[in-house]
Amino acid sequence: MYPTPDCGPRASESNRVGRLHVPSDSANGPRPGAGDHHGDPGYRQLHMLWPAGRRPYPDALRPAPGYLLRPGSDADIAPFRELMARVELGSWGDEELAQVHASVLPDGWLVVVHQPTGRLVATGMAQHNPVPELYPGGYEVGWIAADPDHSGHGLGRSVTAAVANRLVDAGAMSIFLRTDDFRLPALAIYLRLGFTPHLYAPDMSDRWAAVHQRLGGTPAPSAGTRPDPPTARPLP
């Protein structure tokens, strides 16, 4: 996902994820995801919307046997960085990590651990991340990643569903995610869970049609609507 500008009020201090103590042992690299789009300043990611008030199916929230879904902690920072680098979601220096975590809800950084080895194998974040022109009351299912060595166990599905569920628990009514056209396995997961494409820009219809064709010929989506009802409840 691309980093966003200051798009409105951040989560309050009480909403910051565990006030993680970020170690200062990493060099200052590029912002997370900054190199993902080949330097194209006009690149726009695909956006998807979660139906307001809907919860994921219970089966999607249960990780496969041998895996544990839990909130992230300070001890997970180093393996988180390793995982994000491996799946090409950017370099995470101290400043970048702290900035992103400032938007995460309490217990909103979720990780999946492989219990036999203790290895962190999936991650996702429930973020308060308004985008004024699209989602002024927006909350994001952010930074989903899963270790390719553990593919086939539904880890991406479980952590995505858990993040969406955390936002629904908190009362968020405008929930979105951002991703890229080439991330076909992730796109298939999001569509199966119930996320819908948001055609927020003129090129989105053709891009989504191409995605659906590559996924097996699913019909292209109809135009999305802005998911910001005036009755959306603020987070506590």
Fold of the domain spanning 46-214: Aminopeptidase (3.40.630)
Model confidence, pTM: 0.79
Determine the average pLDDT of the residues in 153-166. Answer: 97
Strand partners, 146: 122
- Which pLDDT score is estimated for 222? 45
Do residues 142 and 101 lie in contact, with contact meaning Cβ atoms separated by under 8 Å? Answer: no
Token code pair at residue 47: 């956006």
- Which pLDDT score is estimated for 41? 74
The 10s digit of each residue's pLDDT in 18-43 is: 334 444 333 333 334 433 454 577 88
Do residues 208 and 220 lie in contact, with contact meaning Cβ atoms separated by under 8 Å? Answer: yes
Domains of the chain by residue range? 46-214
More confident residue, 217 or 1: 217
The 10s digit of each residue's pLDDT in 53-72 is: 999 999 999 999 999 999 99
Q: How many Å apart are CA 121 and CA 114, to the nearest integer?
A: 7
Mean pLDDT is lowest, of 7-16, 96-105, 118-127, 222-231, for 7-16
